[in-house]
Amino acid sequence: MSEFSTRIKKCRMEKVLTQKQAAAMFGLSERLWRSYEGGDRTPTFEGLIAIADFFDVSLDYLVGRSDNPKRQ
């Protein structure tokens, strides 16, 4: 599992969302969201920004470049 997949799952669970709910928030299929959490796929650049904004974390945190989730 990639750092990204681990962190989006953690963010989703902290917001108490199901995979289906999270997928719907971004206009994605549940299957695609599961593939993000499973480490099989990664979102587009625009998708990464939307996910980081929604969960209020930095892109660096989301992709594993920092352990600090705070946005600068």
Instruction: Answer whether residue 15 is part of any domain.
Output: yes
In the predicted structure, residue 47 carries a pLDDT above the cut 90: yes
Average pLDDT over residues 10-30: 97
Instruction: Answer whether residue 46 is part of any domain.
Output: yes
Quote the CA–CA distance of 3 and 17 in Å, as a whole number. Answer: 19
Per-residue pLDDT, 71: 77
Q: Could you tell me the CATH number of the domain that includes residue 22? A: 1.10.260.40
37: containing domain: 3-62
Q: Which residues contact 29 (CB under 8 A, 6 or more apart)?
A: 23
Q: How many domains would you assign to the chain?
A: 1
Per-residue pLDDT, 67: 87
